[in-house]
A and B are shown apart, each in its own frame.
Chain A
Amino acid sequence: MAFEPKIVGFLCNWCSYTGADLAGVSRIKSAPNVRIIRTMCSGRVDPTFILKAFQLGADGVIVMGCHLGDCHYQDGNFKTIRRIPFLKRLIQGFGIDSRRLRLEWVSASEGDRFAKVVNEMTEEIRGLGPLQLYVHKVALNAGQHEMAE
C-alpha cells in the first residue's frame, strides 16, 4: 500500500482554524492528510504536545497561527515564533528531520493559503517517507525491548 503521511495540525482558534473552515465551505480541494486539533492560540501548543504527536505515530506536525501582529491575545504567536525553531533543533537531536515540523501563519480569510500549505507539507512528508522511531518499534512489539533492538 502506498505511504500516506499522517500529519497532526495544531490550528489556532481565531485565525487558522477559521481559515481551514473557510477552505471547506469554499470547496477548495486539499490533501486529507492533516488531522486538525483546535487550540486557543498557537502559543498554547506546548512542545510536549508535539513530541507526543511524533511518539504516537505522526509523520509530521504543522502548527498554524495568526500572522504576527494579528494575535487575538496580542503576543501569543511571538512565543510560537521562538518555540518552533527551538523545537526543530531539539527534534534534530533525536534524529528527526526538522522539515517534519512546520510553522505557518494562516489568517481567517486565507482558505486558499490553508489548502496550499497543507498540500505542500503533505508532499514534503511523502518525499521524506514514514517516520520510524524506537518508541514506535517498542509499541509495535508490545513493549518488548529486545525485538525493538
Chain B
Amino acid sequence: MAKPRLALYWAASCGGCDIAVLDIHEKILDVANAFDIVFWPVAMDFKYDDVRRMEDKSIDLCLFNGAIRNSENEEIAHLLRAKSKALVAFGSCAMEGGIPGLANNTTKEEILRFVYKDSPSTVSSNGGVYPQQRTAMPEGEIEIPLLWNTVRSLDQVIDVDYYIPGCPPVPTQIWGVIEYILSGKPLPPKGSVLGAGVKTCCDECKRERQERKLKQFFRPFEIEAKPDECLLDQGIVCMGPATRDGCGALCPTANMPCRGCYGPPPNASDQGAKMVSALSSIIDAHEPEEIERILDQLVDPIGTFYRFSLAHSILRRSEKV
C-alpha cells in the first residue's frame, strides 16, 4: 500500500510552526517513514506547479500554518484545499489570525507608510518607495502578491477540517496528533480542535489561586512575580482564564503571564470579551472614578486581550475613524 501523502505549508507566519514540527526531534524520521512528504516549502524543494499538477484530493493530510494576508496566501489556501482530503489549520495564525492578525488594529496604508517611509531604519534617500505590484525587468515583468487591508484566519477563507492551536503548537501535542492519525483510529468529527484540552490554561497551572480582589494591575516588567502564587492574584494580567489548555501552562511556569496563544476555550467565541468579564469580577472598586483609575492601568486592551485572536474575534478588525 502506498504511504499516505503529507503536505505542510506556511502562509503569513514566522516559520515557528515549521520549527515546532522539527522539534519532535528524532520522531521526524518516523514521520518521514510513515508519510510521503509531497510539499513542504520550508524544508524541501517543491514548486507550486508541482502541487497544481497533483490530482484533487490526492494529499491525505495538509498541515497549513499562517494567516491569510495577501493574494498569494489566499491562492495557495484554495489550491491546497482542492488537493487535500484533511486540511488542518495548524497554529494560532491559521486558526485565529495570530500575531499577523494584529495588523487588523491598523490599516494597510499606515503599515506601508511606517515600514517604507517613517520607520527609523528607512534610508531617507529611498524613503517613500513602496512595493510595486508589477515591475518591468529586462527578463520580463515580475509580479508580487497583493497585500490585503484585513488579515483573515484560514477558516474565513476556505473550509477547514481540524484545528491545532498554539504559537507554536507544543511538539508533544503535535506528535500526539500525528501518532493518533497513524494509528488508523477513526478521525474525530470535522471542526474538532486537536492537540489541546477542553478547559482553560488555569486548570493546568500549578500556581496557587486565592481569588484576590485588586486595586492595582502591573505589566510583567513592573514587578518581580512570586513563583508560587497566581499571577492574576499578584495583579499581573494573565490570559489564563480566557485561554484553552493544552500547552501545560508553559508561560506561567516560566514566571510569565499566559499570552493566550491557544485561543478561547470551548464555548467561548471571543477572548477579549471573556477577559473583560474575568477582570471585571476581580477589580476591587465600587465608585466610577476609582474604577476608571484602575482601568487606566490596563494599557492596550486590544493588543493584550486579542494578541492572537483579533482576526477571528467577533468584530475582526478595528475601524479607524
| Interface residue ranges, A against B (CB under 8 Å) | 46-48, 50-52, 54-55, 68, 78-79, 81-83, 85-87, 89-90, 93-97, 132-135, 138, 143, 145, 148-149
Contact = CB atoms under 8 A, between A and B. Distances in A.
Nearest to A47: B273
Contacts of A86: 276, 279-280, 295, 298, 301
Contacts, number: 101
Contacts of B25: none
A82 B315 contact: no
B152 interface: yes
Interface string B17-43: 000000000000000000000000000
B96 interface: no
Interface of B: 105, 148-150, 152, 156-157, 268-270, 272-274, 276-277, 279-281, 283, 285-286, 288, 291-292, 295, 298, 301-302, 305, 313-321
B281 A79 contact: yes
B150 to A, nearest CB: 6
Contacts of B276: 47, 83, 86-87, 90
Contacts of A97: 321
28 contacts: A46-B273, A47-B270, A47-B276, A47-B277, A48-B274, A48-B277, A51-B272, A51-B313, A54-B315, A78-B286, A79-B281, A82-B283, A85-B295, A86-B276, A86-B295, A90-B273, A90-B301, A90-B305, A93-B301, A93-B302, A94-B302, A97-B321, A134-B316, A134-B317, A135-B315, A145-B148, A145-B157, A149-B149
B295 to A, nearest CB: 6
Contact of B319 (A51, A95, A149): A95
Nearest to A97: B321
Contacts of B305: 90
- By secondary structure, the A interface counts as helix
Given A47-B273, A47-B277, 12 more contacts: A47-B274, A51-B273, A51-B315, A55-B315, A85-B288, A86-B298, A90-B272, A93-B105, A93-B318, A133-B315, A145-B148, A149-B150
Contacts of B316: 134-135, 138
Counting chain B CB atoms within 10 Å of each CB, the highest count among A50, A82, A133 belongs to: A82
A149 B302 CA distance: 21
Contacts of B288: 81, 85
B319 A48 contact: no
Given A48-B273, A51-B270, A89 B319 contact: no
A48 B268 contact: yes
A138 B133 CA distance: 25
Contacts of B292: 85
Nearest to A82: B280
A142 B227 CA distance: 50
Given A51-B315, A55-B315, A87-B276, A148 B150 contact: yes
Nearest to A68: B286
A148 to B, nearest CB: 7
Contacts of B321: 95, 97
Given A82-B285, A85-B291, A145-B150, A51 B302 contact: no
Given A46-B273, A90-B305, A145 B152 contact: yes
A50 B286 CA distance: 22
A96 B272 CA distance: 15
A106 to B, nearest CB: 17
B198 to A, nearest CB: 19
A89 B317 contact: no
Contacts of A81: 286, 288, 291
Contacts of A94: 302, 315, 317-319
Contacts of B314: 48, 51-52, 54-55, 135
A89 B157 contact: no
A29 B161 CA distance: 53
B302 A90 contact: yes
| Across the A-B interface, the 6 shortest Cβ-Cβ residue pairs | A95-B319, A47-B273, A93-B302, A83-B280, A51-B314, A48-B273
